[in-house]
């Protein structure tokens, strides 16, 4: 029995192997979606790439993704890169399908690949299919709504642009695309750096959302210093002819130095470590050592737990757009915080945890990877609060931290800090109002209002004068009628009710008359001239 059972199992395995080898490629393909790589999709833009991009995409896979933007807008697609090993697009190709058209298939060098495709609809299906091949990066494309005709892909670099100043729209999802950047937000970026990835590194846009960037090209520098910021590590760079910077929103000042140094009593901690030095002296790693501007050791907690925190009181509610951190800064004490979360509150309110842009989960920030290097994280949207707490989540050896908060006072902030997704419409005007910026203001007279008051002061007396003039004319007419009734009627029936206006014969000389011109729709007709007759002429200047 054992021998026959083993023989049957061997036959079944051999049959399965033969069927697998003889099966057509579409049966050998992996399940739908296995060919998809980096994909970040937001309501107004996104980025899609094949699996392993820019490495070789796998054999026998399919990637199919439906993308959609809000109704009433047109879909713009830009293909940043396409390298598919196929000459006839039979088993390796990319197609873009909308409700009315099919774009593609695209592959190899069979047909030119358009850099930009504009659809008449707000949705499309991207389909990438691979068969057997040896090489090929696959594809990378970005999309956005027709609100952003200046869309670029994640692969565009600053040296692709010749203008010294320009504005472009970065799609969501450029952070994890392969490609180097060199420099930092303070000194600028080398012109060979990827634009959108640099913008995320600088905290200008969030990777989850994308957004508009404003770029200024300047003369290059001899060296570019790389740092870790917003989850992206920029590289050190060498001399270049040009560099670029992003226009500042004005809310990136040090909050510990901008309005005078914050008192030591305004920075507290859950606990502090007391070190005994080699010579027996007591060294306090107290909270006041946590300021980044203060030389020497940092703050360090006495315990290693998730309940430890460092709290800063800014004295008043402020707009906090970022944070810079280091570890202990001491070579012999390799202490640092790897990840942390942020809590914040205002007067008489409860602590709240800063959450992700598109989720309701707490945002975990990437901290330091050694004791000395500086790391920056930006808050998009910004935190508006008086009190903040940094709560370490993971650390190396011991919790140790130096910090600097970046931001500005509320009155210095402008509307660019509030993304439409964090605004709500005003009930009275329908204008979006930020939750943290509800301010009651008194109406201020504008220039138009002042001009209206001046015109009113001129026009009203004129109108009053005209009314008095017309009233006087009516009284004069009434007096004339009364006199004529007493003196006898004219022979013509028309003369019995002549009124105050009559056409005057040319031989008569006009006395104290006022001339009016009446316009006609028919240009061939000659304007008729009428005279206002005074009481002195009333008895002898009417025509019967």
pLDDT in tens, 289-308: 999 988 999 999 999 999 99
Q: How far apart are CA 86 and CA 132, in angstroms?
A: 10
pLDDT over threshold 70, residue 391: yes
Mean per-residue pLDDT, 393-403: 97
Higher confidence at residue 155 or residue 115? 155
Assess contact for 239 and 223: CB atoms under 8 A: yes
pLDDT in tens, 71-117: 999 999 999 999 999 888 888 999 999 988 999 999 976 668 898 99
Average pLDDT, the chain: 78
pLDDT over threshold 70, residue 161: yes
Max CA distance (Å), the chain: 150
pLDDT in tens, 27-64: 444 455 588 999 999 989 999 999 999 999 999 999 99
Q: What is the pTM of this model?
A: 0.71
Tokens of 467: 């009314």
The pLDDT of residue 87: 82
Higher confidence at residue 432 or residue 478? 478
- Can you tell me which residue has the tokens 């509150």? 345
Cis peptide bond prior to 287, omega within 30° of 0: no
The pLDDT of residue 262: 76
Q: How far apart are CA 23 and CA 32, in angstroms?
A: 18
Mean per-residue pLDDT, 237-254: 92
DSSP 8-class letter at 505 = -
Mean per-residue pLDDT, 172-190: 95
Q: How far apart are CA 8 and CA 13, in angstroms?
A: 9
- Can you tell me which residue has the tokens 């060498």? 238
Q: How far apart are CA 62 and CA 48, in angstroms?
A: 14
Mean per-residue pLDDT, 1-23: 45
Domains parsed from the chain with CATH numbers: 26-145 (2.60.120.290), 158-247 (2.170.130.20), 254-416 (2.60.120.260), 498-544 (no CATH)
The pLDDT of residue 150: 97
Q: How far apart are CA 330 and CA 298, in angstroms?
A: 8
Q: How far apart are CA 191 and CA 216, in angstroms?
A: 11
pLDDT over threshold 90, residue 426: no
User: Sheet of 75-83: strands edge to edge?
Assistant: 36-41, 45-50, 138-145, 75-83, 116-118
460 confidence band (pLDDT: 50, 70, 90): low
Contacts of 454 (CB under 8 A, 6+ apart): none
pLDDT over threshold 50, residue 14: no
118 confidence band (pLDDT: 50, 70, 90): very high
In the chain the first and final C-alpha atoms are separated, in Å, by 141
Interior/surface letters 530-543, b for 16+ CB within 10 angstroms, e for the rest: bbebeeebbeebbe
Assess contact for 142 and 77: CB atoms under 8 A: yes
Q: How far apart are CA 406 and CA 253, in angstroms?
A: 5
pLDDT in tens, 261-298: 678 889 999 999 999 888 889 999 999 999 998 899 99
């Amino acid at each position: 029995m054992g021998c026959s059972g083993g023989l049957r199992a061997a036959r079944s395995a051999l049959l399965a192997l033969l069927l697998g080898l003889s099966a057509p490629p579409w049966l050998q393909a992996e399940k739908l979606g296995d060919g998809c790589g980096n994909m970040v999709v937001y309501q107004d833009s996104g980025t899609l790439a094949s699996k392993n991009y820019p490495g070789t995409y796998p054999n026998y896979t399919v990637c199919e993704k439906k993308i959609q933007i809000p109704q009433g807008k047109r879909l713009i697609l830009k293909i940043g890169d396409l390298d598919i090993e196929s000459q006839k697009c039979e088993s390796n190709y990319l197609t873009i399908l909308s409700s009315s058209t099919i774009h593609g298939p695209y592959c190899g060098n069979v047909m030119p690949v358009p850099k930009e495709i504009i659809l008449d609809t707000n949705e499309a299906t991207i389909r990438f299919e691979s068969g057997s091949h040896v090489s090929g990066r696959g594809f990378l494309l970005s999309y956005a709504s027709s609100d952003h005709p200046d869309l670029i892909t994640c692969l565009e670099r600053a040296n692709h642009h010749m203008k010294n100043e320009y504005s472009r729209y970065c799609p969501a999802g450029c952070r994890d695309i392969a490609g180097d950047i060199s420099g930092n937000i303070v000194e600028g970026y080398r012109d060979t750096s990827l634009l959108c990835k640099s913008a995320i590194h600088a905290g200008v846009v969030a990777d989850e959302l994308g957004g508009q960037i404003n770029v200024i090209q300047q003369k290059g520098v001899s060296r570019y210093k790389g740092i870790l910021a917003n989850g992206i590590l920029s590289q050190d760079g060498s001399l270049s002819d040009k560099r670029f910077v992003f226009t500042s929103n004005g809310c990136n000042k040090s909050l510990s130095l901008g309005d005078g140094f914050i008192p030591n009593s305004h920075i507290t901690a859950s606990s502090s470590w007391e070190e005994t030095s080699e010579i027996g002296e007591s060294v306090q790693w107290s909270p006041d050592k946590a300021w980044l501007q203060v030389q020497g050791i940092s703050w360090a907690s006495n315990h290693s737990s998730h309940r430890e925190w460092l709290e800063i009181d800014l004295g008043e509610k402020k707009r906090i757009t970022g944070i810079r951190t280091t570890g202990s800064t001491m070579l012999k004490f390799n202490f640092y915080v790897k990840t942390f979360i942020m809590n914040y509150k205002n007067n008489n309110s409860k602590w709240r945890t800063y959450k992700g842009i598109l989720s309701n989960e707490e945002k975990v920030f990437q901290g330091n990877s050694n004791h000395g290097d500086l790391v920056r994280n930006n808050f998009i949207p910004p935190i508006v609060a008086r009190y903040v707490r940094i709560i370490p989540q993971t650390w190396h050896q011991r919790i140790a931290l130096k910090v600097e908060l970046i931001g500005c006072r509320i009155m210095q902030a402008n509307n660019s800090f509030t993304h439409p997704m964090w605004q709500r419409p005003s009930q009275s005007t329908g204008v979006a109002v930020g939750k943290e910026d509800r301010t009651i203001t008194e109406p201020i007279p504008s220039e138009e209002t002042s001009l209206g008051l001046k015109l009113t002061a001129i026009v009203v007396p004129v109108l009053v004068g005209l009314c008095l003039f017309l009233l006087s004319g009516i009284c004069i007419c009434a007096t004339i009628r009364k006199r004529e009734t007493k003196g006898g009627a004219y022979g013509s029936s028309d003369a019995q009710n002549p009124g105050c206006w009559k056409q005057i014969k040319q031989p008569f000389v006009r006395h104290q008359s006022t001339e009016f011109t009446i316009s006609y729709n028919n240009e061939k007709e000659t304007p008729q001239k009428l005279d206002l007759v005074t009481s002195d002429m009333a008895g002898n200047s009417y025509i019967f």
